[in-house]
Structure 1
């Protein structure tokens, strides 16, 4: 099979590398890709993800068997809606279903409506109302989140109300802040061990793909600003069978049922960020695609024909043909000096 992956990061590189190990995969092309992929023998093509008509013309010309959407931005813009309307098979959710990630306000309201465990929260549309709402939270126990997509950098775990207030004002009012949003979510801070859980959905159900743990703070010893992820590991030690059953029942199944009830069935990859505390779980957030950098530690452990599984998913014939290697996998991120700057500071890798 010929596969097209959309994206340009380490996640897409790791996915292409993994698919090429399958006997059913004859070729993988990544659009737009990056120079590191070319050095690794992965085909890339300079095709814009902004113009869906040009992209679909390229897909038809190359006769790809299916398309895998890597990043969140094209999903929010409705790339799956557009390609499916043209008869192209795609792994990824529609624009409407992608709101589970593109709108944190939608996701939190959805979790509340369908009884998916999550932290106490309130949604605000102005800085004045959000700052006034801080009094409903214990000092040092509040998390400030933007509702919009923010590349993993729209979260501030505030040590005090003054820090929370500054975050609110920056996100909503500060023109030099690169992250823009029309809604702010205040959440009660959760404690425990954080894990990332992944599932693949079609119209008939889902399969659990496995787990990883990422470390978001930019400095060692869990210090500094939140990032998109500084490194991850994946191993069998993260989740017991009993806990996996709970995650499947209380999170993945409820998402499947709830999205169908809303008339926006979820298909594609669901990434649930979870906080574990003993036997209890709470959803921190949803993402509607593979994580970066979690993909880089999870996919090397997946045994079986992933290409065939993804192809089956696009035809709503998903089956349980994958398993996890008992060996653990670790991934470490290299970043620029000023990462994760949100104030316009140049990010320089030094080469």
Structure 2
């Protein structure tokens, strides 16, 4: 497929405050918020921009430091310290990676201080922060999704569950790090899911106050992201994520075990349908509700026999979808994000260019993830993996210990990403790189991208 993304015509690049007169390109100081693989991939791509001045990450990880970013030990939810950092370092653009600070209003707080931000307001971020809000918005905007019911007490939910055809999906309303979605094959499993979410508060008290019970959709999943500014959007190539912990889509849901891009099923015709039927009515509905969206809108879709249906929306770059997207992106990311933050995306002058070669990302995890795991395990072989052609290892849960050694510092540790002439070669190259890396307890899926190899053309 031709996945040069949709253009949104001609943006002027506003010169940042303090830029030297007569310089050929404006230079912007940028702060990336977050510490995962997504943030390393964004920092890596931003570092390539001729428009970049200084690059900061808060808090960043060992990989962002290796890119030359200045890591600053400030938590993504510490709004006041982040605002002071921006003012002190003359930050021209803040790029917010994770959903939690967006939902907590970090973008609003920074904008109130006159700081330019790429990322939605707390009101617009409700499209991810509340599954109830997202489902009701889709219902009112006629966006195709699964039939559903909302409950704020476990007993009515249990009564409803007894009347359903199975399987169903029970979802915690609030943020749950990608883990608050439980597929249930029968009523007993659904009752247990309600208890876990609402009574035991497994995903947090706030996340479990309300639940969505919906019909389980059948088909193939697809992740589609768009850069949005108000009523203007630029579609990005479709990816496929792998949420389940183990091969064959078995085991509990995780934050994402790997992804590939582009997804062969995302034909140009399908992408036009997704833009027209899903993205455009959604961003218009947000704007009508005084929640104008600015940032990345991510649609997790199921390709059913009746057409694409929305499983969920996210309000930010996906992780791990960002890793193969950035690996393939050939255009300069920085002025695109800057134009969106300035409200000038409708004037964007060029089609976004992507490497025609596909990319595959395999996530290496700590032993026990997505359950309990230990950190501080020494990681070996990253340099050897990156010595392979067209391979980049994006850091997620990593840090340097007191001896300067690279050690694990999270559940998802590394995203080994490779380009290839076709998906098969990209996959083989990624797994060849994976075999060069090891740390105690390391586990990963061995079937990332395998399903796509059976798709014709």
Provide TM-score, normalisation by structure 1: 0.95
CA change 1:115–1:17 in 2 (3 A) is same
Alignment partner, residue 304 of structure 1: 331
Counterpart check, 1:158 vs 2:188 = no
Partner Cα distance (1:294, 1:15) in 2: 11
Partner Cα distance (1:164, 1:348) in 2: 33
Contact 1:144 1:184 in 2 (8 A): yes
Partner Cα distance (1:336, 1:329) in 2: 23
Cα deviation, residue 217, structure 1: 0.9
Counterpart check, 1:130 vs 2:157 = yes
Cα deviation, residue 136, structure 1: 3.4
Q: 2:352 aligns with which of 322, 325, 344?
A: 322
Contact 2:152 2:209 in 1 (8 A): yes
Deviations, residues 204-243 of structure 1 (Å, cap 9, x unaligned): 4111022110111111111111111111000262411111
Q: 1:98 aligns with which of 119, 125, 129?
A: 125
Cα deviation, residue 182, structure 1: 0.4
Residue segments in structure 1 that go unaligned for 5+ positions in a row: none
Cα deviation, residue 160, structure 1: 1.6
Contact 1:306 1:322 in 2 (8 A): no
Q: Tell me the number of residue pairs that the alignment of Structure 1 and Structure 2 aligns.
A: 346
CA change 1:349–1:145 in 2 (3 A) is farther
Stretch of structure 1 that moved more, 128-137 or 185-194:
128-137
Residue segments in structure 2 that go unaligned for 5+ positions in a row: 1-27, 379-457
Counterpart check, 1:252 vs 2:282 = no
Deviations, residues 28-66 of structure 1 (Å, cap 9, x unaligned): 211011123223433211123333222111101111110
Alignment partner, residue 368 of structure 2: 338
CA change 1:189–1:349 in 2 (3 A) is farther
Contact 2:257 2:363 in 1 (8 A): yes
Stretch of structure 1 that moved more, 17-26 or 121-130:
17-26
Q: 2:200 aligns with which of 174, 179, 184?
A: 174
Counterpart check, 1:44 vs 2:74 = no
Cα deviation, residue 188, structure 1: 0.3
Alignment partner, residue 22 of structure 1: 49
Contact 2:239 2:263 in 1 (8 A): no
Q: 2:229 aligns with which of 198, 202, 206?
A: 202
Counterpart check, 1:235 vs 2:265 = no
Deviations, residues 267-315 of structure 1 (Å, cap 9, x unaligned): 1110000011256010000000001111111111122111011111111
Partner Cα distance (2:343, 2:73) in 1: 31
Measured on the aligned residues, the alpha-carbon RMSD in Å equals: 1.5
CA change 1:111–1:204 in 2 (3 A) is closer
Partner Cα distance (1:24, 1:136) in 2: 58
Stretch of structure 1 that moved more, 302-311 or 148-157:
302-311
Deviations, residues 170-207 of structure 1 (Å, cap 9, x unaligned): 111115x2433100110100111101000111134111
CA change 1:347–1:160 in 2 (3 A) is farther
Contact 1:243 1:279 in 2 (8 A): no
Cα deviation, residue 14, structure 1: 0.5
Contact 2:168 2:215 in 1 (8 A): yes
Contact 1:309 1:321 in 2 (8 A): no
Alignment partner, residue 436 of structure 2: none
* Dislocated runs of 4+, deviation >3 Å: 345-351
Stretch of structure 1 that moved more, 154-163 or 67-76:
154-163
- 3-state SS of 2:214 partner: strand
Cα deviation, residue 135, structure 1: 2.7
Within 5 Å, give how 1:270-285 maps onto structure 2. Answer: 270-278=297-305, 280-285=307-312
Stretch of structure 1 that moved more, 313-322 or 153-162:
313-322
Q: Which has the larger radius of gyration?
A: 2
